[in-house]
Amino acid sequence: MTSNDEIHAYLGSLETVYHRELSSYPDGKVLTLPLVYLPDIVLFPGDDLPLRMLSDSVSFRSFRDLLSSGEALLAVLPPHQTGPQLGVTVRVERFSVEDDGVRMAGGARQRFRLRQRLREESDAELFLWGEVEILAEDRAQSIPFDDLCWRSRVEGQSNEKNKTRNLRRIRGRQFPAYWGYATYALYDARVLVQKIQSMLLSNIHGEWFHKPRTERSSGQNDDDERDEKASLVHYLAVPSDIQDPNLFAFWVARNLPLDTTQRLDLLRMNSTVRLLRREIELLEQTQEDIFCFLCGSFLANTRDIFSMTACGAAGGTYVNPGGHVFQVLTLRDVDRANVVVDMNRSTEDTWFAGYVWSITHCNSCYQHLGWRFDRVDFTRLPATFFGFRRAALTRSRSPR
């Protein structure tokens, strides 16, 4: 099992950044921040982001100045967007500056809209700077008429009928536009969270968000209800009525098996209720087949999606030694006939401790799909799994 602190252990020893501020700003706040464009990467608040900046593109003085500002905020966004340019702020949490470049890890904080890019003062600048506006976040609330409109809490008592008549009279005076529980449930964040939890724990979604098992834990009694609940990630183990709907909605968005365009559509939504309802639609439409984005070849089944981290993410965001950032979906198995695995294997900079990696390609169009990971530490489970780039996958069979 990989804990949150160990997810990016491949970056080596990193120094902690001590922030003087929370790096959280009110809605509509305009900031001047360094811009980081990452192709095919769509982050949501709560995501983690590793970065490597090589020495030929790094001004160490500029980076030190950024960290000493007390904020250490980056504005991260995908390039080539149509319409408003959206992204998220990322607070640098840990870093290391060495001769070969800068290594850092941070956490996504708030959505923003890029107002304008600013002119570079000199070619030696580490970052391109921009003026960004913090986007408003809808603070979703539960519908506040449980006792009057939803259900009685004293079923079976002798005066139930009288209470029902009285409540109907009260409701008729105070809520003349009342349409019934089913209608209000469409706009109640708590109900929507509960529905998504149920969907994620059923059918093909059931194994997506269980914490990984080791050899030792696999021999324990999996039928024990307490162990089963403990194996679930926080967002599925905690009841919906005490969840933060905003955090929950972003967690679902960053874990669904979606392509870059679909993820951007979710990032653009400024209502938590709308976001939750759209996620329900996407879950209802989830097809079991996963295809190559370029040629449409069948690659895998959504039943094979699983988590390799203790935080229960169905994949994650990683960076290679060349500084290229990838969002990865982890799969127990793939269609071996349509996936070519390179014969060369390496443990260097492996993203998963105890595993060696091999590059994989599509057998039809030879697009780089991702990697296969084989264990060298026999306490690890599974023995083999695949990490495919989200940008290389689609749920549509139509070739691009």
Given CA atoms 164, 168, 171, 177 in this order, what sign does their dihedral have? positive
pTM value is: 0.84
Q: Find all residues with CB under 8 Å of 350, minimum gap 6, and list them.
A: 10, 356, 357, 373
Q: What's the CATH number where 346 sits?
A: 2.170.150.20
Quote the percentage of the chain above a pLDDT of 70.
73
Considering the domain architecture, whether residues 305 and 385 belong to the same structural domain is answered as yes
Considering the domain architecture, whether residues 126 and 201 belong to the same structural domain is answered as no
Containing structural domain, residue 217: 189-286
64 is a domain residue:
yes
Q: What is the mean pLDDT of residues 284-299?
A: 90
Considering the domain architecture, whether residues 45 and 128 belong to the same structural domain is answered as yes
Q: Give the Cα separation of 249 and 252 in Å (integer).
A: 5
Given CA atoms 314, 282, 41, 134 in this order, what sign does their dihedral have? negative
Q: What's the CATH number where 89 sits?
A: 2.30.130.40
Considering the domain architecture, whether residues 209 and 119 belong to the same structural domain is answered as no
Considering the domain architecture, whether residues 95 and 214 belong to the same structural domain is answered as no
Q: What domain count does the chain have?
A: 3
Residue ending a domain, among 232, 267, 286, is 286
Considering the domain architecture, whether residues 130 and 13 belong to the same structural domain is answered as yes
114 is a domain residue:
yes
Considering the domain architecture, whether residues 85 and 126 belong to the same structural domain is answered as yes
13 is a domain residue:
yes
* Reported confidence tier of residue 148, pLDDT bands at 50, 70, 90: very low
Considering the domain architecture, whether residues 313 and 274 belong to the same structural domain is answered as no
Residue ending a domain, among 89, 116, 134, is 134
For residue 51, list its beta bridge partners.
104
Q: What is the pLDDT of residues 188-243, one digit of tens each?
A: 889 999 999 998 887 666 667 766 655 434 445 545 555 555 567 788 888 888 88
100 is a domain residue:
yes
301 is a domain residue:
yes
Residue ending a domain, among 134, 164, 199, is 134
Q: What does the pLDDT read at residue 72? A: 84
Q: Give the Cα separation of 172 and 327 in Å (integer).
A: 52
Considering the domain architecture, whether residues 273 and 330 belong to the same structural domain is answered as no
Q: Give the Cα separation of 23 and 91 in Å (integer).
A: 7
Considering the domain architecture, whether residues 365 and 302 belong to the same structural domain is answered as yes
275 is a domain residue:
yes
